[in-house]
Copies of this chain bind each other. A is one copy, B any other.
Amino acid sequence: MDGSGSPTLEQVAAVAGVSRATVSRVVNGSPKVLPETVAAVEQAIRQLGYVPNRAARALVTRRTDSVAIVVPEPDSRVFSDPFFAGMLSGVSRTLAPTSSQLVLLIEPAEGDDQRFMRYLRGGHVDGAIIISHHGRDNVLQELAQLPLPIVFSARPLGVDVPVASVDVDNVAGARTGVEHLLAIGRRKVATIAGPLDMTAGLDRLTGYKDVMKEAGLPALIEYGDFTADGGEQATLRLLDAHPDLDGLFVASDLMATAALRVLSERGRRVPSDVAVVGFDDSVLATMTTPKLTTVRQPVEQLGARLAEILLAKIGGANLTSPEIYNTELIIRDSA
């Protein structure tokens, strides 16, 4: 701490022998300042180690130069999901050239919505990216109606107003996965779906059902919650109910890794006995034995696009429609 707190514009002005206003202009890169004045001011700034006070600036400009990334769930799962990590990476890289900072809002405990709602409403950020998994209560709806630029990381379930969102085509992605299983000759193809209150759960199941129906094959469905444990349980139930299954489409890589393990423990060879296709192409996909054939979604790109859209909206653009990206089937060893 330097004696009397951090230096202010005023002090810089005094040292540089100019007015506060001029220093402000230099700091903000106004073109209408004499080069020599600029030099003098910059010298003073360096000498004092001046750095602008954002609070004061925000107060007058009504811009905070920070955006929130909101996880409206107490879900620590979100963090262990490589999906989130990838998106965060994309978001932060896109935000980097900007002066914007990233504020992470996590719902600490179930039902503590109002905490971040207040924060968002308080004008502490210029906009927000919502990482929503569940279409829970009416939180998403409330978020969507906030007087603030907002982008959703997935089509928010249960929201009836037009909102900007970025997502992959989960239905089509699931289709490619299941179609691949059929293409390699599998007929008893089951799925481990995600929860139906998540876009990812709902749409991927739809894709599976569609393909099976078109092929005239029965749908064999169990549900997991996108955790390894959930995947394990679902696989066990599936093996009990359909011991003769020869193909398995799993709605996430994390659940798929558990499925592979259970299959192995139960003496099923992958892919010869049971072919397995996952969804995500996360880092996990290459860590399993055998390596996972999976439906890739371009997570970093999604994150980057989320940030771009948000910045555009903050800049005044009126974007309120979903953007859908394509998936790609990555064939490895499990199917």
Contact = CB atoms under 8 A, between A and B. Distances in A.
A119 interface: yes
14 contacts: A2-B147, A54-B122, A55-B55, A55-B123, A69-B104, A79-B85, A80-B82, A97-B108, A101-B103, A101-B104, A228-B286, A228-B287, A260-B289, A265-B289
A161 interface: no
Contacts of A76: 85, 89
A52 to B, nearest CB: 7
Contacts of A287: 228, 257-258, 261, 284, 287-288
A34 interface: no
B289 A53 contact: no
B122 A53 contact: yes
Contacts of A2: 147
A64 interface: yes
Q: What is the copy number of this chain in the assembly?
A: 2
A284 B80 CA distance: 10
A316 B292 CA distance: 52
Interface residues of A, number: 59
A6 B147 CA distance: 10
Given A55-B123, A283-B80, A289-B264, A105 B101 contact: yes
Interface of A: 1-2, 5-6, 49, 51-56, 58-59, 62, 64, 66, 69, 76, 79-80, 82, 85-86, 88-89, 92-93, 95-97, 101-106, 108-109, 112, 118-119, 121-124, 147, 228, 257-258, 260-261, 264-265, 283-284, 286-289
A33 to B, nearest CB: 21
A151 B104 CA distance: 19
